Structure 1
Amino acid sequence: MTMTLPNILTIVRLVAAPMVAVMFLYFTRPYADWFALVLFVLAAVTDWFDGYLARAWKQETKLGTMLDPIADKAMVVIALMVIIGFSSWSPWLVLPATVILFREVFVSGLREFLGDTAGKLKVTKLAKWKTTFQMVAIAVLFSHGVFEHYLGMSAFGMDQDTVDAIFSGEMVDHHGLRWKHAAMEWAGALGLVLLWAAAGLTLITGLDYFMKALPFLKEDT
């Protein structure tokens, strides 16, 4: 195994994936949301850098080729698991997340079955866009959790009449409830739109991969 810088970045990303979930075991919210968001974004950035450096420095290795998709899938699967676990289990969130998780499991199983033949099925540009949409959507959804809990902290101790008066403009918003609520709503809506777009790309790329794999699945006659 060759431990190049691109490979080290990939390994760091692989290790960072479960740490996103660990943040919620050792920190309270919204600090856990912040740490998970920063960790996820930094790991996602390394996804671009390790591929770019490997190509630019001609350091593409078998280890990197094997670990890179595993790290991507681990990041997406674990992050979605955490987001759903701390959500209200809205079907608008669960359904696209289920599509994404199913596709990742299906394609991983297909790759394992194909063995060495799987290397002939190259990653398409659309598949890279799929990964980008997934990671951006997850980052935005993590930010939704941040705004949601800061809103709750700012409104702590206020009765409903006070909160309603602040939102209606009858009282001065000293604690920034209105902008935190708006940020929470926008982050939630944008995150869901991006997640549904990612789910659509996930279905398309999964079907494309399956169709390309069909010739290798035919029985010998």
Structure 2
Amino acid sequence: MPFNLPIALTWLRVAVIPLMVAIFYLPNTWLTPFEQNLFATILFVFAAVTDWLDGFLARRMKQESAFGQFLDPVADKLIVAAALLVLLNMDRVQVWVALVIIGREITISALREWMALLGAGKSVAVNMIGKLKTTAQLVAIPFLLLNDTLFGWLDCARVGTWLIWGASFLTLWSMFYYLQKALPQLAGKVD
């Protein structure tokens, strides 16, 4: 397993997950609800920035690796799923949103594994719609975590809800896109 700066950043993103979740289980005497929301938001935004940074550095420093290509999307999925479960527990996101996003991730991960076994993994390689989906999720979730009013007028809960609904639409769209791309290979190989 290679170890370099981009992979270290990806591992750091994974390490942020338990911290982000644990913040909401600290006693109110340690952190106020606002501070919990703020610190969780900061951790999530940090993780989202490292998602971009690790890929940029891997390309720039010519340190791309198969392990990094495996770990990066796993870290993305874990941080998004953890945040969604926290938000679901706090009634800040609807069950259907969490099911759509987490269900899509499981479905497409399984599809990619199966397509790789068939020797057709490139047909379901990451596409722009998948990147848009991830970006939409990484923008929506901080608003829902913060759950406050900014600048006296920006209702983060409302904006976050609209954004996560948009992210859910992109999530479904990307799932159907990848399923459609895989359909010719799957139709010819099914027992």
TM-score (norm 2): 0.86
Is 2:175 the counterpart of 1:206?
A: yes
Q: 2:37 pairs with 16, 24, 33, which one?
A: 33
SS at 2:24 equivalent: helix
Is 2:78 the counterpart of 1:74?
A: yes
Q: 1:24 to 1:208 in 2, by over 3 A?
A: same
Is 2:62 the counterpart of 1:58?
A: yes
Which residue of 1 is the match for residue 142 of structure 2? 139
- Paired residue total: 183
Which protein has the larger Cα radius of gyration, Structure 1 or Structure 2? 1
- The amino acid of 2:88's aligned partner reads I
Is 2:53 the counterpart of 1:49?
A: yes
Return the alpha-carbon distance in structure 1 between the equivalents of residues 25 and 113 of structure 2.
32
Q: 1:216 to 1:42 in 2, by over 3 A?
A: same
Q: 1:36 to 1:118 in 2, by over 3 A?
A: farther
User: What's the offset of the Cα at 1:88?
Assistant: 6.2
SS at 1:3 equivalent: coil
Map Cα deviations across residues 108-151 of structure 1 (whole Å, 9 max, x no partner): 2222333454641321112111101101100011111xx27xxx
| Structure 2 unmatched ranges of 5 or more | none
Q: 1:5 to 1:215 in 2, by over 3 A?
A: same
Return the alpha-carbon distance in structure 1 between the equivalents of residues 62 and 121 of structure 2.
19
The residue correspondences of 1:151-170 to structure 2 (distance < 5 A) are none
| Structure 1 unmatched ranges of 5 or more | 149-178
- The amino acid of 1:123's aligned partner reads V
Instruction: Give identity over the alignment, percent.
Output: 41
Return the alpha-carbon distance in structure 2 between the equivalents of residues 77 and 220 of structure 1.
31
Is 2:113 the counterpart of 1:112?
A: yes
- The amino acid of 1:49's aligned partner reads L
Which residue of 1 is the match for residue 189 of structure 2? 219
- The amino acid of 1:46's aligned partner reads T
Is 2:100 the counterpart of 1:99?
A: yes
User: What's the offset of the Cα at 1:27?
Assistant: 4.7
CA contact (8 A) 1:21 1:79 kept: yes
CA contact (8 A) 1:17 1:71 kept: no
The residue correspondences of 1:159-198 to structure 2 (distance < 5 A) are 179=152, 182-183=153-154, 186-198=155-167
Which residue of 2 is the match for residue 15 of structure 1? 15
Return the alpha-carbon distance in structure 2 between the equivalents of residues 220 and 43 of structure 1.
39
Map Cα deviations across residues 28-48 of structure 1 (whole Å, 9 max, x no partner): 323221221111000100000
CA contact (8 A) 2:92 2:144 kept: no
Return the alpha-carbon distance in structure 1 between the equivalents of residues 120 and 17 of structure 2.
24
- The amino acid of 1:25's aligned partner reads Y
Map Cα deviations across residues 139-186 of structure 1 (whole Å, 9 max, x no partner): 011111xx27xxxxxxxxxxxxxxxxxxxxxxxxxxxxxx3xx44xx2
Q: 1:210 to 1:88 in 2, by over 3 A?
A: closer
